[in-house]
Amino acid sequence: MLHGMYGYQRAKASGAGMGMAIAAIVLGGIGSLGIIYLVWLLNDLWW
């Protein structure tokens, strides 16, 4: 049981790391224009 939970936590952590790496690559590819658009979009949704 404990080992299964540990494996699950590790899988979740590596999955989050992969997601963050992909997000970093995507944001890097888009560049500052993408960030400005994202901020504008979030601002538009917020208000």
| SS3 per residue for the chain | CHHHHHHHHHHHHHHHHHHHHHHHHHHHHHCHHHHHHHHHHHHHHHC
Give the contacts of 27 (CB within 8 A, at least 6 positions apart): 34, 35
pLDDT score recorded for residue 17: 74
Q: Are 23 and 17 in contact (CB under 8 A)?
A: no
Domain boundaries, the chain: 2-46
pLDDT tens per residue across span 1-47? 455 556 556 666 677 677 777 777 776 766 666 777 778 888 887 66
At 6 the pLDDT is 61
Q: What is the pLDDT of residue 43?
A: 81
Q: Cα dihedral sign for 12, 14, 18, 21?
A: positive
- Calculate the CA 4 to chain-centre distance: 25
